A and B are shown apart, each in its own frame.
Chain A
Amino acid sequence: MTDVALSSLTSPPAKRAVLPDLVRSEWSKFRTVRSTYWSLLAAVAAMIGLGAIISAAQSSHQAAFDPVSTSLSGVLLAQLAIGVLGVLFVTSEYSTGMIRTTFIAAPQRRSVIGAKAAVFAGAALIVGTVTSFVTFLVGQSVLSAHSVSLASPGALRSVIGVGLYLGLLGIFAVGLATIIRSTAGAIAALFGLILVVPAIAQALPTSIRDSMDKFLPGNAGQAIFHTIRDTSTLSPWAGLGVFALYAAAALTAGLVLVKRRDV
Chain B
Amino acid sequence: MTMMEFYCLTESEQINMLYRHGVYVGKRKSGKFAVLLYQLDSFYSEVFYYNYRRHIYKIRCSDSMNILDPYLEQIAVEHLVS
B partners with A? no
